[in-house]
Amino acid sequence: MPARVLTFEELRGLTGQEVGVSDWLTVTQEMIGRFADLTHDNQWIHVDPERARAESKFGTTIAHGFLTLSLLSYLSHQAVEVKGDFKMTVNYGLNRVRFVSPVPAGSRVRGRVAVHEAGDQQVIWLVTVELEGASKPALVAEWIARFY
């Protein structure tokens, strides 16, 4: 699904409203393993499917919370694109992040993006990462983007 294209002026008028939804993305065991290798976080609940099946309350491996958080860029860019008189967008940080539900290997996630607050060169997005078939999201974050 193509991203919704908005200007800063439009964003200001959409405070508190959802502005886009990404496609579903499958979080594979390969992705989880590669993230573990890059971050040196090789805890068995992420990288050992057999042990996770036997010992974890989830019955399978789960994605790192920070892997799910790192998907915000990808999911958000699928959902919404901001047009204006700027050359680049910079990740300025996060006000609040909650890892609400684990993401089992092989499950699908998507991002729902809302405008929390919009200024002249800054937007605070409220991003909810949904977990397909779950009643609770995987992650909820207030994410700050600056435009230069």
DSSP state for residue 87 in the 8-state scheme = S
This prediction's pTM: 0.93
Q: What is the pLDDT of residue 132?
A: 98
CATH of domain 4-27+68-147: 3.10.129.10
Structure-derived torsion over alpha carbons of residues 93, 132, 134, 32, reported in degrees to the nearest 10? -60
Residue-level pLDDT at 27: 98
Question: Which residue positions in the chain have pLDDT lower than 70?
Answer: 1
pLDDT of residue 2: 73
Q: Which residues of 29-48 are buried (b: 16+ CB within 10 A; e: fewer)?
A: bebbbebbeeeeeeeebbbe
The DSSP 8-state label assigned to residue 106 in this structure reads: T
